[in-house]
Amino acid sequence: MRKVRMNVQGRVQGVGFRYMTKMVADELGIYGTVRNEDDGSVSIEALGDDEIMTKFIQKIKDSPSPAGRVTYVAIQDDPFIEEYTSFKVTN
C-alpha cells in the first residue's frame, strides 16, 4: 500500500478538477481526499496499491479535467497519511 501526498499546480481550480479527480480515484480504487488551497493549487492525499497509484499519479499529471491544465505536481510519499475508506472532495 502506497500513501502519497500531492500538490498540483496549474489551471486546477474552477474547472471541475477535484470532482474529476474523485471520479478517477473511485474508478481505480484509490482512497483519500482532494481539496483546493488558498494559493490556487489543489492538494491530494491518496492511498492505494503501488501499481494503481502509478496510474492515478499519471492521470493527475495529465489533468483529469478536460478544462484543466497541470503545470507542476509535487509528490511526496507519506506513511503517516490516515487510513481512508473512500475518496472525498473537501472544501
Number of residues that this document lists for the chain:
91
**Of 2, 35, 36, 91, catalytic:** 36
Q: Which residue segments constitute the domains of the chain, with CATH numbers given?
A: 2-78 (3.30.70.100)
State residue 74 phi and psi, 5-degree precision.
-90, 125
Residue 7 catalytic? Answer: no
**Cα 34 from Cα 89, distance rounded (Å):** 5
Residue 36 catalytic? Answer: yes
- List per-residue pLDDT tens for the chain, 91 residues long: 999 999 999 999 999 999 999 999 999 999 999 999 999 999 999 999 999 999 999 999 999 999 999 999 999 999 999 999 999 999 8
**Of 18, 35, 69, 91, catalytic:** 18
| Structure confidence at residue 47 (pLDDT) | 97
